[in-house]
Structure 1
Amino acid sequence: MWFKHLQLYRLHGMQLLSPEQTALAMAEHAAKPLGNADARRMGWTPPASRLGGGQLLHTLQNDGHRLISALRQERLLPASVIKEEVEERVAEIEVTEGRKVTCKEKSALKEQVIEELLLRAFVRSQKIDLWWDTKRQLIGVNTSSRARAEETLDLLRETLGSLKVTPLTTQTLPVRAMTTWLGDAATRPADMQLGDQVELKTKGDDGVVRGRQLDLDSDEVQQHLEHGRQATQLALGIEGQLSFVLHDDLAIKSLRFGDALIEEADFADDGDDALARLETDFVLMAGCLRASVERVVEWLGGEAQRQQGNPEGSSDA
């Protein structure tokens, strides 16, 4: 259950429900099998479902951490397949009846085709985990996609009745800080480790430069910076804790937890109980994520101050 990515959000002015109240609310929005006419559906699923656990909410009461999981189900129905079927039916009508099919008829045919093909479409399921630090009023969604994170938050909003969140932002823009760190080693925080992966962009149309397994202090990288390119992705690490790729929107991706942390989890005495193992992993992971996110925010000058009123990009219900 170790997270691979983090889309980070700040909660605002929310009255926290008890774990019992939250679990009851989640049960009303639990995942259900797709109906025949459903193109997609989303609901809560036990984080430990594959391990035989049926608990929708896992909490660490003393530390304020919560773990929940959403199950997103979607029928795979490519637009090209729909288009081809509609065109075939249009052609058949025009030949059989000797007339042109109107736009209104084409639209009706398309709806009919979608309804019929959905019954035979494959279903793709995706589990999306969510870490909720109730003491820090922070949510991290384990997905590389901002859109999937927003869908998960929409489900949480519907479940709780209200949820005001904004993407986490910092005083210094990540792109500015990453470019500075890359160009001047003296500006890097003492506990920062520079990785071997980077993405560089310019404001013009000169394309994107991506590199992996590179010496990021090399002359080649420095020359790109001198020509005005900026770092929009940068591999970094916190010694002994976490390595990751920081993105210009403050998404933290490609997480790799420290060997010592993984070894501690492996040697924990869980009595071969899969559910106990998940709880152990969550304790260690959540503590690491809290400390690491706080450290990254410090590197970026601290959290940006929220403006009065409903800020742009906020989600509220």
Structure 2
Amino acid sequence: MGALADSATALVHAAGPFWLVRLQREEKLLPAAVVREEVGDRIAQIQAAEGRKVFRKEKMTLTDEVTMDLMPRAFSQRKSIEALMDERNGWLWVNHASAPRAEDLLGALRDALGSLPAELPDTRHSPAQTMSQWLLQGNLPAGLQLGADADLADPQEGGGEVRARSMLLDCDEIRSHLESGKLVQRLALEWDERVSFVLDKDLTIRRLKFDEQLVSANDDIEEDELVRRDADFLLMSETISELQTLLVKSFGGLSE
């Protein structure tokens, strides 16, 4: 596969063991107010021509007819969602916070490939309990540092929640909440001066941001912009894969 061009139409790209795929869909934008106005006009025409009321069932039929009539003239909007696949280690990351949208992409991949057994990683140790211990004891895995945000919650139904933002997490206030039984639900972390991110208790990685030094690592490749783009893609993909491997290992590895 050649280097990824600067084009929104490129749906698949590969470099080394990594594949970037994009699901792109075109959605028609037909405002409900436009439909209601046209339905109202047609109802008025019927009432004037036939001297009768238009009841609910007929209104629903008219709404369907108007929608079908107006759809070809509606504006189109393209929406896309991307996924990164690591063929070497069997990882797949979907770049979207919505679970239904992520499942749309997985469904499209299953249709294209015939099958795709994908599920969230299940680790031997509970991420919520393990991250809580990190905050209580300050014993983060090598290379990981605390960020400045955390969400805590009592596991009991109806228990309280705490959202810490832009604060020092290694403090008595946070430890007091944890000692009272609350567990980490989300935790902001930094890794090896390469990336910052927020980790959920289900191992979802959010707000992933690459360090500026990493982003500019391939700037010296000037002779071919597409070659540099390819090198950037490979570097970022390798970084994400290494981070995922570290996180799973930090929670005891995958369950059998």
TM-score over 0.5 for the pair: yes
Once the two structures are superposed, what CA deviation does each residue of 1:9-67 show, in whole Å capped at 9, x if it has no partner?
xxxxxxxxxx7xxx9xxxxxxxxxxxxxxxxxxxxxx953438xx76533234xx2222
CA distance in 2, matches of 1:286, 1:55: 18
Shift of 1:90: 9.0
Q: Which residue of 1 aligns with 2:153?
A: 201
Q: Which residue of 2 aligns with 1:118?
A: 71
Q: Retained in 2: the 8 A contact 1:47–1:129?
A: no
Shift of 1:196: 0.4
CA distance in 2, matches of 1:238, 1:284: 15
User: Could you tell me which amino acid in structure 1 is paired with residue 12 of structure 2?
Assistant: L
Q: Check if 1:258 corresponds to 2:215.
A: no
Q: Check if 1:249 corresponds to 2:206.
A: no
* Aligned ranges 1:72-83 → 2 under 5 Å: 72-77=25-30, 81=33
Aligned pairs, number: 253
Once the two structures are superposed, what CA deviation does each residue of 1:141-196 show, in whole Å capped at 9, x if it has no partner?
2222222221112111112222222222222232222222223213x223221110
Q: Check if 1:297 corresponds to 2:254.
A: no
Q: Which residue of 2 aligns with 1:142?
A: 95
User: Could you tell me which amino acid in structure 1 is paired with residue 255 of structure 2?
Assistant: A
Q: Retained in 2: the 8 A contact 1:82–1:114?
A: no
CA distance in 2, matches of 1:93, 1:178: 66
User: Could you tell me which amino acid in structure 1 is paired with residue 152 of structure 2?
Assistant: L
Q: Check if 1:166 corresponds to 2:119.
A: yes
CA distance in 2, matches of 1:84, 1:205: 43
Distance 1:113 1:182, change over 3 A: farther
Point out where structure 2 has 5 or more consecutive residues left out of the alignment. none
Identical pairs, percent: 32
User: Could you tell me which amino acid in structure 2 is paired with residue 50 of structure 1?
Assistant: S
Q: Check if 1:101 corresponds to 2:55.
A: yes
Q: Check if 1:287 corresponds to 2:242.
A: no
Q: 1:180 aligns with which of 133, 146, 155?
A: 133
Q: Secondary structure at the match of 1:170?
A: coil
Distance 1:135 1:113, change over 3 A: same
Distance 1:115 1:87, change over 3 A: closer
Point out where structure 1 has 5 or more consecutive residues left out of the alignment. 1-18, 24-45, 306-317
User: Could you tell me which amino acid in structure 1 is paired with residue 229 of structure 2?
Assistant: L
Q: Secondary structure at the match of 1:81?
A: helix
* Aligned ranges 1:61-76 → 2 under 5 Å: 61=16, 64-76=17-29
* Aligned ranges 1:50-65 → 2 under 5 Å: 50=7, 56-61=11-16, 64-65=17-18
Distance 1:183 1:73, change over 3 A: farther
Structure number with larger C-alpha Rg: 2
Shift of 1:133: 1.0
Q: Retained in 2: the 8 A contact 1:233–1:247?
A: yes
Q: Which residue of 2 aligns with 1:48?
A: 5
CA distance in 2, matches of 1:204, 1:115: 47
CA distance in 1, matches of 2:4, 2:27: 19
Q: Retained in 1: the 8 A contact 2:47–2:54?
A: no
CA distance in 1, matches of 2:95, 2:211: 18
Q: Which residue of 1 aligns with 2:106?
A: 153
CA distance in 1, matches of 2:173, 2:39: 53
Q: Which residue of 2 aligns with 1:36?
A: none
Higher relative contact order (CA 8 A, sep 6+): 1
User: Could you tell me which amino acid in structure 2 is paired with residue 101 of structure 1?
Assistant: F
